[in-house]
Structure 1
């Protein structure tokens, strides 16, 4: 997780507030924070807590994770890990069982890809068949002669 990027967060919040066509006072009321406090956040003078960011996100109708990324509290990769299952859970067109199956498939693909990206030793024979850890390989010169 990175350092808190207060200035960038404030600019982002201001853009989101304007896109939502909300005044500073309207957003402050909807989020349950004071007007001066919200103004200080937008100007980069205050570092809001995760709880305040969550309240602001709810009032702006955006994901809290989006604000966490902007604030440097969460990296984009972590955000994606949270948003995909959340999007599946919010879809009213599929059943609860279908949602759970989709999430399980998504998580299994992520684990499979992570394992493929980080190949670790499997504990199998080193150097392939006949290598020093191959159980069928002869142990020494006497064994080699016996199998020849």
Structure 2
């Protein structure tokens, strides 16, 4: 066996690092693409990158530039900041406002409106977490948790009352 053949054979046998930051970024982009029901080809076209290059990004083989991440984020209609954090370009904000805190502080919302918004947000978060689960584990989980958590009564309670104001 030649030196080159031995090098290739030994490299092929080395275990790859699983869940590397690039693989996590690629998996996140793939998940967002699939959630948006876009083919790899369609996302590549929308983002202005080649199909093979986007495929390599999704598989964690290439680290995209900030400009490419911005184009992908725009095509997916998601925050480019999220992709920058996942790519290691930006650090995640410490102690930043989370959605529930912002909703609770909003002076224009009534208490029932705040409660309904927080319940909806939590429901969407649970649904997103379930969609991130492996397909085999997901099957039964979607039957247990739908977009539930918010019922018609909660939504009606959040609506402004239609009682006439006293003059």
- TM-score for both structures, normalised by structure 2: 0.44
Return the TM-score normalized by structure 1.
0.50
Q: Which has the higher contact order (CA 8 A, sep 6+)?
A: 1
